[in-house]
Amino acid sequence: DINALVAALQKTIQFEQELQVRFGNTNDDVKDSSAVTKGSGMDANSIKTRYKQEMEEKKAGGKEKYLSQMAAAKAQRPKMDFRKIISSVFYGYLGEYVKLERENIAKLLSQVEKEEKWSGGNADEDSGADGGDGEERRSYSGSEKILIYIKKSLQRCSRLTTGAVLAEIAKEYRQGLSDYRALITSKLPRGSKTDSVQQLSRSDNERCCLVANTAEDCKDIIPGIERAIKNVLDAKYTEEVDFSHEQSQFAALVNLAVETVVKGFIFRLGKILSMMTRMPWDKWESVGDQSEYVNQINSMFSQYVPPVSKMLSDAYHLFFCNQLAKACIPLYEEHIFKCKRVNALGAQQLALDSHAIKSIFLAIPRLRGGENLPARRTRAFNRIVDREMGRVVAIVKTLASPTDCLIATCRTLMPRGDTRFSETLTKVLYLKGLKKQQQEALVETYNAGVEAKDHVALDKKSDGHFKRIFNFRS
C-alpha cells in the first residue's frame, strides 16, 4: 500500500529531524539555540523556561560566553548527521510513488479535458454579438490547474526525498506538460498543421487565440518550474532536469496557433481577390475611386482583426501583424497575375487600388484600439509592408507604362537581383498582351543594358500555357 509506505516515510523523516535537532552537530546545525528553546509566551512553562536559561547564562558568565562554550563542546563531539540515515532505506521502494504521481497527472488531464470550455464564447460566429455569458477569457483555466498541481506536488515530494526519486517525478511533470500541450493543440481548427484551413469564424479565431495565450503562459512559467525543482534536488541529479524541450514545444504551439488564424485570413482574402481577377481589366475605360474589392478587403480586416489583436499579448500581436502582411501581400501579387490581360487604364486603376491596399495594411496594428503603438514597435512591420507592397507597386506601374517606356520603367522600379525578377518581368509582358515578337524585342533591349548575370529569358516552355491563360493570338 503506497499510502501506508508514504505515511511511514513521513514519520521516519520527522523522527530523523528530531534526532538532528537534539543530537546532530554538523556545521550547519550550530545555531543560536536560544532562538529555538527560549520561551516567548506568558504561560507558566514559558516563564519557567526563560528563568532557567537566564540562570544558566549568569552562571556561565553571560549569554555570549555560554553560547561559545556550548558550541565548543558540541564541536568536540564526533560529527553526527541523522538526516536520511533511516529514510534512505525507503527510496528503493518509491517506484510506486512515482507511478502514483503519473496517475494523478493523467486523471487531472482527463478532468481538464471534460470540464474545460474549449469553444470560443466571446463572439457568436460572424455576427459579432456576444455569444456567451459576458465572460471574457484570455486563456484556458486548465493550464493553471496543471501548474498548481505541479507546484503542490513538488512541495509534497521534496519533503519525502530530494534524490533520484524526485528526479524521476520531474520527468512525470515534463510528460504531463507535453500531454497538456498535445491536448490544447488538438483544439485548433482542422487543417492547422497543413495549408488546408478553410474560412474561420470569429469563434474559431478566438479558440486559436486561447490556445496561443495558454501556450505562451506555459512557456513563460516552465523555466520557474525547472529552477524550483533544481533548488530542492540533490546536486548530483540537477543535470537530469531539463525542461527546454517542453518550453520550445509550447513556443512552437504559439506560432502554430497564430499562423492558423493567418491562414483563415488568407482564405477570406483569396475569395475577395478572386472577384478582382474576374473584372474586365483589358477593357477598362476610366480611372475612378478605389475598386469595390478594396472596400471589401478593408471591411474584412476591420471586422476580424480587432478581436484577434485584443486577445493576443503585445509581443504576439505584432507577430500576428507581421505574419499577416507576409502572407497576404504576396497573395495579392499572385492574383494580379491571374487577371489575364490588363490595358493601360486598367493598370492605372490597379495602381490606385494598390496604394489604397498598402494604407489598409499599414493600419492593421492600430486596429487593436487603445493606446497607439510607438513607432519603434511597428518599425519591423512597416518594413515588411514597404518591401512586399514595393514589388506590387512596381509591377502595376510597369504595367501602366507605355510599351516604349516599359524597359526604362522596369529598370527604375523593379529590384534587380531578385530571384523572382525574370519570372515577374515575363508575366508583366504577357499581362500587357504583347505579341511574342514584341516581348523578345523588349527582353533584348533590357538585357543589353544589364550585366550577363542579370539577363532575363522568356520561358519557352510556358509559352503555350500563358497563351491558354490569356487567350493570345500571335
Give tens-digit pLDDT for 8-56: 666 776 666 666 676 665 545 433 333 333 444 444 555 566 667 666 6
What distance in Å separates the CA atoms of residue 473 and residue 452, rounded to the nearest whole number?
Answer: 31
pLDDT score of 429 = 85
> Side-chain half-sphere of 151: how many Cα atoms within 13 Å?
10
From the list 352, 338, 346, 446, the residue with the least C-alpha distance to 393 is: 352
The owner of cell 528563568 is: 51
Q: Which three cell numbers stand for residue 305?
A: 482583426
pLDDT score of 1 = 63
Q: Is 385 exposed, middle or buried (0-12, 13-18, 19+ CB in 10 A)?
A: buried
Instruction: Dump pLDDT digits (tens) for 269-308.
Output: 999 999 999 999 989 988 888 999 999 999 999 999 999 9
Q: For every one of its 474 residues, what pLDDT tens digit does the chain have, with 9 covering 90 and above?
A: 667 767 766 677 666 666 667 666 554 543 333 333 344 444 455 556 666 766 666 665 655 666 676 666 666 666 666 666 666 666 665 667 788 899 999 999 999 999 999 886 554 444 444 444 445 788 999 999 999 999 999 988 888 888 888 999 999 999 999 999 999 999 998 766 666 667 788 999 999 999 999 999 999 999 999 999 999 998 999 999 999 999 999 999 999 999 999 999 999 999 999 999 999 998 998 888 899 999 999 999 999 999 999 999 988 999 999 999 999 999 999 999 998 889 889 999 999 999 999 999 999 999 987 667 777 888 999 999 999 999 899 889 888 888 888 888 877 887 655 667 777 788 888 888 888 888 888 888 878 877 777 777 776 544 434 443 333 333
Residues in contact with 13: Cβ distance below 8 Å, sequence separation at least 6, in sequence order? 87, 159, 160
What distance in Å separates the CA atoms of residue 407 and residue 432, rounded to the nearest whole number?
Answer: 13
What distance in Å separates the CA atoms of residue 186 and residue 192, rounded to the nearest whole number?
Answer: 9
pLDDT score of 456 = 75
pLDDT score of 120 = 66
* Alpha carbon separation from 202 to 63, 90, 123, 199, 351 (Å, rounded): 74, 55, 6, 10, 32
What string of DSSP letters covers 184-233? HHTTSPTTTTTT------HHHHHHHHHHHHHHHHHHHHHHHHHHHHHHHS
What distance in Å separates the CA atoms of residue 118 and residue 235, rounded to the nearest whole number?
Answer: 41
* Alpha carbon separation from 186 to 39, 118, 140, 193 (Å, rounded): 60, 10, 14, 10
pLDDT score of 466 = 41
pLDDT score of 450 = 73
pTM: 0.77
